[in-house]
Amino acid sequence: MFPKETHILVVDDSLNIRRLVVDSLNRMGFTKITAAEDAVEAFNKLNSAAESDKPVQLVLSDLNMPGPSGLDFLKQVRSNDSYQTLPFILVTTESEKGAVIEAAMAGVSGYIVKPFNIETLTKRLKEAWAKHNS
């Protein structure tokens, strides 16, 4: 499982969903959480954190966002050599196969389907940790 000091970037265009995810992560014991409302802001925060001594170690991003989507953000992250192995989980309401397959091919670490509870979030984080630390 990710250590409690893991720096997590939460990306969602919905303020309510961002708050829900951040609150769930806080209840799980995580304290280093950065939030962004779109992929452009998220990529800027990802790069700023990388230049500091507190790089992002996990991304939780909504799939369906206006502007660049979560899938676009994933592809942008994976196209950067520095972020090739950064754990990246997509949060989605979609069960559409095309997006899931495309995200898998782009290197997504896992999925969380909304609505979710803290048990599901914990399970998906454990799976992503295992995928990147086996």
Q: pLDDT tens-digit profile of 34-43? A: 999 999 999 9
pLDDT tier at 94 (50, 70, 90 boundaries)?
Answer: low
Q: How far is CA 91 from CA 48, 50, 60, 74, 110, in A?
A: 23, 23, 7, 12, 9
DSSP SS3 for 62: strand
> Residues 78-102: what's their mean pLDDT?
88
Q: What is the mean pLDDT of residues 117-132?
A: 96
Mean pLDDT within 71-86: 97
Has domain 8-132 been given CATH number 1.10.287.1260? no
Question: Given a cut of 90, is residue 131 above it in pLDDT?
Answer: yes
More confident residue, 100 or 10: 10
**Is the Cβ–Cβ distance between 47 and 95 less than 8 Å?**
no
> For all residues of the chain together, what is the average pLDDT?
95
| CB-neighbour burial class of residue 120 (10 A; exposed 0-12, middle 13-18, buried 19+) | middle
- Residues linked to residue 92 through DSSP beta bridges, in sequence order: 113
Rounded to the nearest angstrom, the gap between the alpha carbon of residue 82 and the centroid of all alpha carbons in its chain is 16
**CA gap 101, 96 in Å, rounded:** 9
Kindly tell me if the per-residue pLDDT of 50 is higher than 70: yes
Each domain of the chain, given as residue ranges in start order, spans: 8-132
Task: Please report the pLDDT score of residue 101 as a whole number.
Answer: 87
- Say whether pLDDT at 72 is over 80: yes
